[in-house]
Chain A
Amino acid sequence: GAVVSQHPSWVICKSGTSVKIECRSLDFQATTMFWYRQFPKQSLMLMATSNEGSKATYEQGVEKDKFLINHASLTLSTLTVTSAHPEDSSFYICSARDFAGGTYEQFFGPGTRLTVL
C-alpha cells in the first residue's frame, strides 16, 4: 500500500513556542490530506482537511489561526501549532488520500507525539 510519513515522530517544546509537523506521501500524489488529533485513550478527531494549493477546511471548534496548515505540493502538508500550550499536547496523525483501483483510500502516517511543557 501507499506510504505516508510524518516528521518529527515526537517533539517536546516550551509553552509559547511554535512547532511544525510535516506529512509526506512517499509514493503517490495526494491532492487532499487530513489532520487528526488524538488525546490519551480517546479516538481520532478530524481537525482539518488540507487541499493542495488552497486553504484548509477546519472542523468546528478548531482554531485556524492556532493550527496553521499549508499544503504547498502534492506530496507535502504541514501543520504548525502556534504559541503552543500544555493543552495542545496530543498525538497528531495525518492521512493522505490516494485514488487507486477506481476508489479513494486514505493512508495514515505514524503520528507525531507533541508534548508542551
Chain B
Amino acid sequence: KQEVTQIPAALSVPEGENLVLNCSFTDSAIYNLQWFRQDPGKGLTSLLLIQSSQREQTSGRLNASLDKSSGRSTLYIAASQPGDSATYLCAVRRVGNQFYFGTGTSLTVIP
C-alpha cells in the first residue's frame, strides 16, 4: 500500500523567506503527483501537477520537483507571503486513479 509522508508537519517562517516542503512516498509506480493547498475548513486548491515522466513544474513563486526513483517531491515557495499560510498537501496517484494523500504541512508566514 502506498504511504505518503510530509515533513515537516508544521512550519512557521517570517515573511519574505524562501521555504521547502517535503513529500515522500513508498511506491514509485505512480501516475502523477499533485500539490494542493487547503485553507481552514475549505476544500482543496490544486497548485501544481507533475506527471510521472516530468522532473518539475513551476507556477509563479512555486516550484515542485519530482524524483520518482527515490520517492520524493519538494515544493519550493519563494518570497513567502502571509497569504501563503495554509496547509499544503501532496498526493500521489497510481495508474488505477486512486489518490493517496500525505499528512500535510501546516505553514504559517509571519508578517
Q: Are A43 and B97 in contact (CB under 8 A)?
A: no
Q: Are B42 and A1 in contact (CB under 8 A)?
A: no
Contact partner of A46 (CB less than 8 A), chosen from B31, B41, B99, is B99
B101 near A: Cβ within 8 Å? yes
Q: How close is A23's CB to chain B, nearest CB, in angstroms?
A: 11
Interface with A: B12-20, B43-51, B63-71, which one? B43-51
Q: Are A107 and B46 in contact (CB under 8 A)?
A: yes
Q: Are A111 and B46 in contact (CB under 8 A)?
A: no
Contact partner of A113 (CB less than 8 A), chosen from B41, B51, B99, B101, is B41
CA distance in complex: A105, B99 (Å):
11
Q: Are A43 and B41 in contact (CB under 8 A)?
A: no
Q: How close is B75's CB to chain A, nearest CB, in angstroms?
A: 15
Question: DSSP class of A's interface residues: helix, strand, loop or mixed?
Answer: strand
CB-CB under 8 A for A105 and B97, given A43-B103, A44-B89: no
A108 near B: Cβ within 8 Å? yes
The bracket for how many chain A residues form the interface is: 20 to 34
Which chain A residue lies CB-closest to B49? A105
Contact partner of B44 (CB less than 8 A), chosen from A93, A103, A105, is A93
Please indicate the chain A residues that have their CB under 8 angstroms from the CB of B97 in the complex.
32, 49, 97, 104, 106
Contact partner of A106 (CB less than 8 A), chosen from B41, B42, B99, B104, is B99
Q: How close is B31's CB to chain A, nearest CB, in angstroms?
A: 8
CA distance in complex: A93, B70 (Å):
30
A34 near B: Cβ within 8 Å? yes
Q: Are B43 and A108 in contact (CB under 8 A)?
A: yes
B58 near A: Cβ within 8 Å? no
CB-CB under 8 A for A111 and B98, given A43-B103, A43-B104: no
Contact partner of A93 (CB less than 8 A), chosen from B31, B32, B43, B93, is B43
Contact partner of B89 (CB less than 8 A), chosen from A43, A91, A95, A110, is A43
- Chain A residues with CB under 8 Å of chain B are 1, 6, 32, 34, 36, 42-46, 49, 91, 93, 95, 97, 103-111, 113
